[in-house]
Structure 1
Amino acid sequence: MNGKFVASLIVLCALVAGGAIYYLQVYGYYYRVEPQPGRDVQLVVAADGHAEVIPYADFQAIDADSSPIRYRACFTTPLRDADLAARYAPVAGGEPLVAPGWFDCFDAEEIGAGLEAGRIHIYLSAKNIAYGVDRVVAVAPDGRGWAWHELNHCGRKAYDGTPVGEDCPPPPKEGGS
C-alpha cells in the first residue's frame, strides 16, 4: 500500500509540475501589448538610418519580460514590396520564431515559407531594442505584416559566449550598474 501511495504521489507531482511548466511557457509570461497608434510599426529608412512610422491597421502584439525575443506582432499595411524595398533598410536572412498557438495571427511557418520562396522580405524596424536584439518587420504581398525580435550579430556572439569584438558595444553588466 505504501509503495502505491508514494508512486501515485510522484506521478501526481510530475503531472502538476508538467502542467505548470506548460502553462508558464505558453501563457504565463506573455502579455498583450497595448497599441500605441502612430508608433507601433516603424521601419528604418535606408538612406539616413532614421525610423519612420509606416501606414498600418489591425495591430496586435504580445511580449514577455522573461526574454527580449518573445515579442510578436501582426498588422496590415497598404504598402507593398516595391514601396518598401525602394525606401527602407532590408535585413538579410531572418527567421521568425514560433508564437504561442493562441496568438494565431502570427504563423511562423507561413512567414518562413514566404521568406524562403522570396515572396516576403524583412526590413529593419529598430536596432538594439535590447542588447543584441533588433526588431524586424516582414510584409506579405497581400499587405499582411508581422514584427518580431531577432538576435543581431552582436547578440548572437554575446549569447553564445564568444567575445563580441570591437565592432559591438560592450554588453551590459550583470545585475545592473
Structure 2
Amino acid sequence: MGKFLAVLLFLCAAGGGAFMYYQQVYAYYEEVEPDGETDVVMTSMITDAPEPVLYDDFRAIDATSSPIRYRACFTTSMSHAMLTETYLLDEDAVPLTAPGWFDCFDAREIGEAIEAGRALAFLGTENIEYGIDRVVAIHEDGRGWVWDQINPCGEVVFDGNAAPEDCPEPPEGY
C-alpha cells in the first residue's frame, strides 16, 4: 500500500507540475492580429505623442493574464540616426523574456545588443495601461522588438504605496 501511495503522490506532483508549466508557457498567450498601421509606434520628440513607424514582418503575442506579457518582433528600414533625431529614447528599457516557442524574441540577445549600443530602445507608448509602458528596441540591422514593462510610477503604486507627485493619479482600484 505504501508503494502505491508513493507512486500516486509522484504522479500527482508530476501532473500538477506539467499543468502549471503548460499554463505559464502556452495557455494564456494568443497571437496578435496586426492592423498594418499602428502595431509599432514610438513617442515623437516634437509632439510627445506616439506615432506609427515603418515596419514589416510583424509578429506579436499577448495574454490577458498579465499586463506585461505583450511581445512583438518586426523589421524596419529606418536608420538609428533618423530614429534618434525623431523619437524619445528609453534609458530604462529591460527586455522581458518571452516563451521559448516565440523564437523571434530573445530577451538576452536584445538586452546585450542594447547594452553594447547595437540596438537602441525607445519609448513606444507611456502608460499604455496605468504603470505600464510599451518599449520598442531597434537593432542596427533593422530587426525590432516591442514589449511592455512596468514604469517607475507603476512600481510604486503596484507595491501598495501612494503615487509620487510626478506620476499621474492611478485609476480606481489601484
Ranges of 4+ aligned residues in structure 1 off by more than 4 Å:
none
CA distance in 2, matches of 1:164, 1:173: 12
Question: Could you tell me which residue of structure 2 aligns to residue 147 of structure 1?
Answer: 146
Q: CA deviation at 1:166?
A: 2.0
Q: CA deviation at 1:174?
A: 3.0
Question: Could you tell me which residue of structure 2 aligns to residue 121 of structure 1?
Answer: 120
Question: Could you tell me which residue of structure 2 aligns to residue 137 of structure 1?
Answer: 136
Question: Could you tell me which residue of structure 2 aligns to residue 60 of structure 1?
Answer: 59
Verify: 1:159 aligned to 2:158, yes or no. yes
Structure 1 residues 56-106: Cα deviation after superposition (integer angstroms, max 9, x where no partner): 000000011011111000000000110100010111121001110000000
CA distance in 2, matches of 1:122, 1:104: 20
Question: Could you tell me which residue of structure 2 aligns to residue 173 of structure 1?
Answer: 172
Choose 95-104 or 160-169, whichever is displaced more: 160-169
Verify: 1:48 aligned to 2:47, yes or no. yes
CA contact (8 A) 1:74 1:105 kept: yes
SS, match of residue 91 in structure 1: coil
CA distance in 1, matches of 2:50, 2:97: 26
Verify: 1:10 aligned to 2:42, yes or no. no
Please list every run of 5 or more consecutive structure 2 residues that lacks an aligned counterpart in the other structure: none
Q: CA deviation at 1:6?
A: 1.3
TM-score (norm 2): 0.95
Choose 160-169 or 134-143, whichever is displaced more: 160-169
SS, match of residue 146 in structure 2: strand
SS, match of residue 90 in structure 1: coil
TM-score (norm 1): 0.94
Q: In structure 2, give the amino acid aligned to 1:141.
A: E
Give the root-mean-square deviation of aligned CA atoms.
1.3
* Count of aligned pairs between the two proteins: 174
CA distance in 2, matches of 1:164, 1:4: 56
Please list every run of 5 or more consecutive structure 1 residues that lacks an aligned counterpart in the other structure: none
CA contact (8 A) 1:134 1:152 kept: yes
Counterpart mapping for 1:73-152 below 5 A: 73-152=72-151
Q: In structure 2, give the amino acid aligned to 1:79.
A: M
